[in-house]
Amino acid sequence: MMKNNNQLLSLIVLGLIIIVLGGVIAAFFLGRGQTIAPSTPVVLTLPATKAAQEIAPVASETAVLQAATATFAPTSTAIPTSTPVPTPVPAYDWSMAALTGPAARSGMSFAYDDRQERLILFGGTCSGYACDDTWIYTGNEGWQQINVPGPSARETAYMAYDSARQKVVLFGGHVWAGEHLGDTWEFDGESWTQISTATTPPNRSNQAIAFDPVRNKVVMFGGWVDSQLDDDILGDMWEFDGTNWQEVHTAVSPAPRSNAKLVYMPELGGLVLFGGIGREQSHYNDTWLYDGQNWIQLIPAQSPPGRFGYQMAYDPTQHSIVLFGGTYFGAEFITYADTWLFDGENWQLTVPLNSPPPTWNAGFAFDASANGILMFGGNSPNQNDLTNELWQYMLVP
């Protein structure tokens, strides 16, 4: 073996080690089974050659031996005394939380208040009517109803928490067996306030809505109105800055759709949109990123099957978006009970030990105080099968 690191040139031949440093050669033998500890070296001084001049000189014979010892390792390999323990992989799982609380429902407005560290629920589709009640949830105190005046009874009026102004923003919704709405409301944790704006988006329900903390704006995309078919499925985008709504036009945009979800992902610095139901009953499974200026279609290696009415939220403990459930209307009716993670590049199907039943149109948000995802209510599995179960998805202790 030859080695030149500008300090040492060595040669091993049949157990003989010859070391050349500058104008110095050191030689010694290794017996069978011996390590590098040398026998008495033989030191010869030779005239410096061009090659030797390029190698930094060694001051003494002791340095020669030290260099040799540092260069060569024992030839034997230690046998491990125990089996290596693999590094544990963090496990996330679903579990049932509180059982008492709001009446069973789906399509409720649902958001997490970062400042007060509690979930906020409003309205939704109750059994045979639209609700108009307001509830808060904390892990310590459970569910509590807040008896304050607020928006009229409605379903699928989705909302987002504006962390810059520390208020929840709700838009529109659908009156039970009636019209779609186009009003804007805010909830500060104690009271509801209707907001009058110079410009207002068209009436709608089932829109995707989320807060962009980089630009401090609530962003809303799509939804539906009236017949829920064809042109009644919307593809417009609006932004609310706390004072007014403004329509946003981009060169490229996702196809019109409703019952999709929009979630801010810090790793991508923008809002992620997935799936939804489009015109002519198209069930999408595409993934888009809105960076505040343009829409960019992402192309993951795999994606969840097409669906709408699913649940989706960002989980900072996994640096991923969590998606659960949803439904598919086609030749057959399918309600999903699968859990997917999106890390900014790919979707991955997870297999937790436990899982909620097939569910769609539930409330879904990351609860920072619980350090996990909470899901409430929804249709499970059919449209008329309402639940008031509260599930949590988090790291198993």
What tens digit of pLDDT does each residue of 139-198 get?
Answer: 989 999 999 999 999 999 999 999 999 999 999 999 998 899 999 999 999 999 999 999
pLDDT band at 331 (very low <50, low <70, confident <90, very high): confident
Please tell me the total number of residues recorded for the chain in this structure: 397
- At 77 the pLDDT is 35
CB 96 within 8 A of CB 357: no
d(CA 12, CA 340): 58
If one compares 209 and 19, the residue with the highest pLDDT of the two is 209
Give the type of residue at 44: L
Nearest to 242 by CA among 167, 180, 190: 167
Cis peptide upstream of residue 381 (ω within 30 degrees of 0): yes
Q: What would the pLDDT profile of 208-226 be if each residue is shown by its tens digit?
A: 999 999 999 999 999 999 8
| Contacts (Cβ under 8 Å, ≥6 apart) of 305 | 285, 328, 336
Residue 376's CB is within 10 A of a number of other CB atoms, namely: 29
pLDDT band at 85 (very low <50, low <70, confident <90, very high): low
Domains and CATH numbers, the chain: 3-71 (no CATH), 93-395 (2.120.10.80)
- At 28 the pLDDT is 40
Burial class (CB in 10 A: 0-12, 13-18, 19+), 192: middle
The mean pLDDT of 253-280, rounded to a whole number, is 98
Nearest to 102 by CA among 127, 135, 149, 128: 135
Task: Give Cα separations from 41 to 34, 44, 73, 307 (angstroms).
Answer: 16, 10, 18, 79
Query: What is the average pLDDT score of the chain?
Result: 84
pLDDT of 17 above 60:
no
| Contacts (Cβ under 8 Å, ≥6 apart) of 86 | none
The mean pLDDT of 75-102, rounded to a whole number, is 65
- Render the burial of 112-138: b for 16+ CB within 10 Å, e for the rest: bbeeeebbbbbbbbbeeebbebbbbbb
d(CA 186, CA 162): 10
Residue 212's CB is within 10 A of a number of other CB atoms, namely: 21
- At 74 the pLDDT is 35
Where is average pLDDT lowest: 1-10, 133-142, 374-383, 386-395? 1-10
| Contacts (Cβ under 8 Å, ≥6 apart) of 275 | 257, 260, 261, 283, 284, 285, 286, 304, 306, 307, 308, 310, 326
pLDDT of 78 above 90:
no
* Sign, CA torsion 98/102/104/107: negative
Q: Name the token pair of 214.
A: 């980089």
pLDDT of 328 above 90:
yes
Q: Name the token pair of 67.
A: 């260099």
- The answer, as to whether pTM is greater than 0.85, is no
Give the type of residue at 166: Q
- At 51 the pLDDT is 37
In the block, which residue shows the tokens 């960019």? 296
pLDDT above 70 coverage of the chain, percent:
78
- At 182 the pLDDT is 98
